[in-house]
Structure 1
Amino acid sequence: MTMTFEHVTLGQRVLFGSGAAAANLAGEVRRRGAGRVMVIATPSARPLAERVCRDVDVALWWDEVVQHVPVPLAEAARTAAAAHGVDLLVCVGGGSAVGLAKAVALTSGIPVVAVPTTYAGSEATNVWGMTEGRTKTTGVDDRVLPETVVYDATLTTSLPVEFSVVSGLNAVAHCVDSLWAPRTDPVNRLMALEGARVLAAALPRIAAGPGAVAAREQALYGCYLAAVAFASAGSGLHHTICHVLGGAFDLPHAPTHAVVLPHVLALNAPAVPERAARLADALGRPAGPGQDPAAAAVAALHGLCRDLGAPARLADLGFGADDVAEAVRRVRAAAPPSNPVPVTEAAVTALLTGALTGAVPGPR
């Protein structure tokens, strides 16, 4: 069988080292010759950000950070950056802080250095997202790709177990979506499967011992692989659904990914049995003799989520039965045509209803 594909790898500098964030960040600021640094971090992350930036001359601290990046907030941050003559953006925190830095970079071209403290993975992609009028719009632009990422596992040890779990499953979602996203190819599928393997091994260790730096290093490594794969493969049905639920219904980002992902896998896996088998193997629960690979993959993912104590019902996140019809319309309008199975009204309704009620997912 011949192979034909086009693969794009994004150019980015990665500095990985536990306990080295402050030194690596200061060195990166010096290397770039930046003199007007804007640091984006939530009020709760400010003490950590101050430690990370202890050797950096900060021109502007910005602590107004909201998930899904409302457009007015992005505009306010852009105005402040311009008023202070900012020449480098440093974001310290999770996906919302990275997302706001990207929104500023999108129109200003100011370079971004990201210091992640969760496993969201946004720091390794050129994808931006903003919300206006209950609609979350996403796009791809190389200006928003952080030029440097500073990874330090010690910055994640204070992350509560429950959030570590859902953030890690957000990274697993990047892996799963990359298996059939619009631009998927053998290279990013390989990274996605390795990311899934590493995350599936690391997350239970983090749940058992939140201070385990070695496990958190592995989780950061896995989330980086997942994000690089996702940036190359593009956004699939799972992320379409989660963007709709976040933008239109203001559901929390990472928990929504954790709830929805097994149901999307249950819908798509039967159409790609070879990839499903490889995913089940990566998750550490390979298909047994004669077992349907789709069923094995869904059971493996559902078992991981269950064992980690992840949320299982959209109803617990603020989504109701009365919201299903609107969500179905929005998902179908935005769903990628390359999805392995048709994104019919019945299919999306069943998927969202199962996620709403916490039904045990299974191949359809």
Structure 2
Amino acid sequence: MYSGSYVFPRVERVVFGRDAADVVTEEAIRGGSERVFVLVPELLQRADVVQRIAEALGARHAGTWSGITAHTPREDVVAATAAARAAGADLLVTLGGGSIIDAGKVVQTCLANDVVDVSQLDALRKLPGDPMTSVRAGMKPPKVRTIAVPTTLAGAEFTQYAGVTNAQIKLKEVFTHPLQTPKAVVLDPHATVHTPDWLWLSTGIRALDHAVEDICSIDAQPFSEGSAMQAIRLLSRALPATFKDRSGLEARLDAQIGCWLSLIGSQTGVNKGASHAIGHALGGTGGVPHGYTSCVLMPHVLRFNEPAVARRQALISEAFGQAGANAADLVAALIEGLGLPRTLRDVGITTDDQIEAITDASMQDPWIKTNPRPMDRAQVRAILEAAR
């Protein structure tokens, strides 16, 4: 029997299938914003979609910043905060993947809390062991909000929490507040055409991982379960379609909508499991891109969890359109068919020392404790060895 409550996120609207430049400008006007500051990855700095947004905003465009690198380092966030503050930003636009969108979330919090140095982030990060949606005591709420225009399928635009890498300790730390959630999300498939295929497809597997671990969660909810099922249906069809024809905008939008639906549970705090927990460590400590972490880990975590959630995994197979098949095998076949990495060796993790460090970092992630099958350090290490 289900038991729980669904808390609606602070997203005011999701606009899909429309031109991002038009929607961003409409949202800026609707909110009375006069100083719109745009965050983009360096890869997209000269992309036509960035230029169109700047032109459509006209005098409202306060500047564009492209200094955020992979995994959102602390130093990059503080530098972006200084640039946004100097520009007098009253609205942020984040155009890019998870690293850019997460950066925008934490820039909001840094602006509200007068952060000028990386050391000040220690007082704002979520404490280890606290739930992912647990706001740090004393944190001032963001006042400057964000519009997100995602170019990948990582899904950061639909959640309130953000990962920022502390390079000194090689650990990804979490910053969370309900108002870090973008107030508007724009799903424009045209904005994704510059995204490299490996990044598009691997983050699509990341979105699939969101849906899969929602269905198997210890606190699954009926609303998120239904959304996750539809997310799997869309992603399992749309990702192979975009692999075969990267110019197909309808399939790209289907994948974007699948990503959106995969995050319904995350928006209200439905806990994930070991694929996400170990994935955070593989990314923050091992330096592996977000999407690749799910490609490498998800099939192995599904196999580990099967004894505890076999009935839930049957729903995953049903959503794939192959009722009765093994869910881990279906996921593994999809990843292989997209030409994505499937082992730790494929993503540059080759030594025992690396695996030890990733194991240690995994044990600090709160979602290790919420994996549907309880696990200890030895079992985390065993999953990493299986993925080797």
TM-score w.r.t. the length of structure 2 is 0.85
Matched, 1:112 2:146: yes
Identity between Structure 1 and Structure 2 (%): 30
Secondary structure at the aligned position of 1:184 is classed as coil
Matches of 2:262 and 2:254 in 1, distance apart?
Answer: 12
Using the TM superposition, name which of 222-231 and 49-58 deviates more.
49-58
1:132-159, Cα deviation, whole Å (9 max, x unpaired): 1201112431121000011111112333
Using the TM superposition, name which of 55-64 and 218-227 deviates more.
55-64
What is residue 20 of structure 2 aligned with on the other side?
Answer: 21
Shift of the 336–249 alpha-carbon distance from structure 1 to 2, 3 Å rule, reads closer
The answer to whether the 8 Å contact 1:321/1:353 transfers is: no
Matches of 1:59 and 1:160 in 2, distance apart?
Answer: 28
5 Å matches for 1:346-357?
346-356=378-388
The answer to whether the 8 Å contact 2:317/2:323 transfers is: yes
User: How many residue pairs align between the two structures?
Assistant: 348
Matches of 1:270 and 1:194 in 2, distance apart?
Answer: 24
Secondary structure at the aligned position of 1:53 is classed as helix
Aligned-partner residue type, residue 308 of structure 1: L
The answer to whether the 8 Å contact 2:216/2:313 transfers is: no
Matched, 1:50 2:51: yes
Aligned-partner residue type, residue 339 of structure 1: N
Matched, 1:204 2:240: yes
The answer to whether the 8 Å contact 1:200/1:284 transfers is: no
What is residue 275 of structure 1 aligned with on the other side?
Answer: 312
Matches of 2:385 and 2:318 in 1, distance apart?
Answer: 28
Offset of 1:200 from its aligned partner? 0.4
5 Å matches for 1:1-364?
2-46=1-45, 47=47, 48-56=49-57, 57-107=60-110, 108=112, 109=142, 110-132=144-166, 133-181=169-217, 183-232=219-268, 233-287=270-324, 296-322=326-352, 323-334=354-365, 335-356=367-388
Matches of 1:318 and 1:122 in 2, distance apart?
Answer: 25
Aligned-partner residue type, residue 336 of structure 1: I
What is residue 359 of structure 1 aligned with on the other side?
Answer: none
Aligned-partner residue type, residue 213 of structure 1: L
Secondary structure at the aligned position of 1:333 is classed as coil
1:317-360, Cα deviation, whole Å (9 max, x unpaired): 1212321222222212324323221212332122111222xxxx
Matches of 1:62 and 1:160 in 2, distance apart?
Answer: 21
Aligned-partner residue type, residue 273 of structure 2: G
1:176-227, Cα deviation, whole Å (9 max, x unpaired): 1212345432221221121111100111111111111110110010000112
Shift of the 55–135 alpha-carbon distance from structure 1 to 2, 3 Å rule, reads same
Matches of 1:297 and 1:19 in 2, distance apart?
Answer: 35
Shift of the 157–82 alpha-carbon distance from structure 1 to 2, 3 Å rule, reads closer
Structure 1 unpaired stretches of 5+: 289-295, 357-364
Matches of 2:77 and 2:219 in 1, distance apart?
Answer: 29
The answer to whether the 8 Å contact 2:95/2:101 transfers is: yes
Aligned-partner residue type, residue 350 of structure 1: A
Aligned-partner residue type, residue 58 of structure 1: H
Shift of the 339–235 alpha-carbon distance from structure 1 to 2, 3 Å rule, reads closer
Matches of 1:49 and 1:315 in 2, distance apart?
Answer: 36
Offset of 1:129 from its aligned partner? 1.1
Using the TM superposition, name which of 117-126 and 230-239 deviates more.
230-239
Secondary structure at the aligned position of 2:56 is classed as coil
Offset of 1:15 from its aligned partner? 4.1
What is residue 138 of structure 2 aligned with on the other side?
Answer: none
